[in-house]
Structure 1
């Protein structure tokens, strides 16, 4: 795969290595949004079928991306909304507990903490080894070992959002299935850039915000809910999530039956006439590229970074244990992280600071030149 910079409109003089913060718009995504905004200038162009059919097309595309049934996919406005829909529908038996990895993204941790408070359940946090090298295998083993018959649910990201740690979702999902533990995954920081298979990994709920690696607009997202959730209680009672809602002449019959599958978990006004076409255009492009090709491209880009860390004696996990599209560099104490970030911005190089780490997150709009520019400034700050 070669770089796809020509499909974006990033300024030529910047080095944007911050896809984990927010993706830039593809030209095709911007065009879809512009056309969608223009369309509402004449509401007569929006038919009753447009309230439902575009969403079904989007769900089908997302289903191809994650190997999940379109009927089990819902349109959501944010990861927190999708997480709440899943977590609040998990029952808790006497003496059961919940598991979460340490420093999980706040939306997941806080939602799970609320569930524990409401169910008088303990929240167990799983911390990794303090050693950087070899900690991924140990952390995965620890997670698998912690799951038992008393674990009601496990909530975690597909890769750690701060440093790109690759979790062994297949082995973790197998242990969850063995113990009847609900496995809820926040895929926001990997789905679209890293292969995902909800069937192979035995994932019960996969939640994805749309504005990062799905390359769509903000306030958009998609969620997969397995059939275990098909009798759950949704956050809201939208008329659109009921059977036969597409028949506008029967709306005041107030049907009690929800739409099939995960339809009950769609956000109200899920047929957003602006964001849906944009997210659809983005996922169509991702499917054309294929996540495995994106990952391989990023792996090649990041090789000089791992070489730099090794040469300079900076402890780091092995590259095969880190997602190539999201790499966290834990800095030596001697480095002034604020000065480093300021210097990078001065040279129009954009990454994220997360605690004592620098998060470098490339994509196919980047080239070797972007990584070289980052390393030139980064190495100036090394002790």
Structure 2
């Protein structure tokens, strides 16, 4: 493993394995955010274009690289739920149409479709994985000629089981179904290519694996949907909004591409500077290097925990995720006990979820294994 810890403000006695819940800001991102808050004391020091337009476009361009998309295809959104709601508003479902989701899918990617089903008369169908099967197999078995929408991610947020999105996309398209993706648990740490997958919409909240502030996120909108209806009618996503002297020359036309779907106050003067630094770090290192680092950490942990009766037995588990089955004698509050020993992970049902990122080191792995031995002895 390469040591990237100096890029973060993580104490030596803290082993943080919970990026799937919240990713820490890199030091440079935090400094950029602090500077942005100080700049708010004297807002006249920055030009209107720099504050409202130039920085959002820089963020849009960096985010687009993670999708392998054009900046014109990316909208700036505050949450995954915002992007999913945008997708729901622009999909045409009829009574009896089927919406396919995963069993135990993250709530934001369920409630949106329940509401759409109630509005349209569509039916929710849940893909359930068998004990030895993959989530890809579960989706393929659930898609039928009546399926008109498949909503999922690149992996299951609880157990980390991967989904072959190219295969699922092909199956959905064969039935004339749309594909909407929540990539919050994968974008920035797993390679993704909109050209290979061709989703209709794909959104990712950035505060986890993209190491960014809360309330930042990115929505990919396929060109075929870029003439759609945004959730908000705000001033900044209209054409020629840069000309502040003509804002009351009200326009019915929008800015280019997916920008019409941008959230209100997209410029986010205090948050975007930090998000931009985090995106630059991720793109500078490259997703392949980040994935390699995470896979190395996970492999090291997986080998060490097997004698403790913790097993990574989920088929096709993503390299940055470890969902470990707990032995029967494990305490119900194992995550709390780990925290007391300076180790941070999540418990999801009968499993311990360990999600490493580039800042984790061999010392972190040793601390985790030592803590688990103490707790499970």
Band of TM-score, shorter chain: over 0.9
Alignment of 1:259-338 (within 5 A): 259-308=255-304, 310-311=306-307, 314=310, 316-317=312-313, 321-338=316-333
Match of 1:246 in 2: 242
| Structure 1 alignment gaps of length 5 or more | none
| Structure 2 alignment gaps of length 5 or more | none
TM value normalised by structure 2: 0.95
Q: 1:263 aligns to what SS in structure 2?
A: helix
For the 8 Å contact 2:94–2:121, the answer to whether it is kept is: no
Q: Indicate the RMSD between aligned Cα atoms, in angstroms.
A: 1.7
User: 1:186 and 1:117 mapped to 2: Cα distance?
Assistant: 21
| 1:28 aligns to 2:28 (yes or no) | yes
Match of 1:60 in 2: 61
Q: 1:200 aligns to what SS in structure 2?
A: helix
Candidates 171, 175, 180, aligned match of 1:179: 175
TM value normalised by structure 1: 0.94
For the 8 Å contact 2:191–2:288, the answer to whether it is kept is: yes
For structure 1, which segment, 329-338 or 189-198, has the greater mean C-alpha deviation from structure 2 after superposition?
Answer: 329-338
Deviation of the 1:141 alpha carbon: 1.9
Match of 2:38 in 1: 38
CA 351–313 in structure 1, closer or farther in 2 if over 3 Å, else same: closer
User: 1:240 and 1:342 mapped to 2: Cα distance?
Assistant: 45
How big is each residue's C-alpha offset from its partner over 1:160-195, in whole Å with a ceiling of 9 and x where there is no partner? 111211111111112222222111111111111111
Candidates 219, 222, 235, aligned match of 2:218: 222
How big is each residue's C-alpha offset from its partner over 1:61-99, in whole Å with a ceiling of 9 and x where there is no partner? 111121011111000011111111112211113421101
Match of 2:104 in 1: 103
For the 8 Å contact 1:86–1:229, the answer to whether it is kept is: no
Match of 2:78 in 1: 77
User: 2:91 and 2:174 mapped to 1: Cα distance?
Assistant: 17
Match of 1:358 in 2: 352
Number of residue pairs matched by the alignment: 376
How big is each residue's C-alpha offset from its partner over 1:319-372, in whole Å with a ceiling of 9 and x where there is no partner? 8x211212111223332231x223211211110112221110111111122122
For the 8 Å contact 1:174–1:202, the answer to whether it is kept is: no
Deviation of the 1:304 alpha carbon: 3.2
| 1:128 aligns to 2:129 (yes or no) | yes
Q: 1:301 aligns to what SS in structure 2?
A: helix
Deviation of the 1:46 alpha carbon: 2.6
Q: 2:196 aligns to what SS in structure 1?
A: coil
| 1:113 aligns to 2:107 (yes or no) | no
Q: 1:155 aligns to what SS in structure 2?
A: strand
CA 123–239 in structure 1, closer or farther in 2 if over 3 Å, else same: same
User: 2:136 and 2:179 mapped to 1: Cα distance?
Assistant: 15
How big is each residue's C-alpha offset from its partner over 1:126-182, in whole Å with a ceiling of 9 and x where there is no partner? 1111x2xx422xx31231232233211111122111121111111111222222211
User: 1:253 and 1:98 mapped to 2: Cα distance?
Assistant: 42
User: 2:170 and 2:286 mapped to 1: Cα distance?
Assistant: 26
Q: 2:126 aligns to what SS in structure 1?
A: strand
Alignment of 1:6-21 (within 5 A): 6-21=6-21
Match of 1:5 in 2: 5
User: 2:366 and 2:278 mapped to 1: Cα distance?
Assistant: 28
| 1:146 aligns to 2:146 (yes or no) | no
Q: 1:183 aligns to what SS in structure 2?
A: strand
Deviation of the 1:306 alpha carbon: 2.2
Q: 2:49 aligns to what SS in structure 1?
A: helix
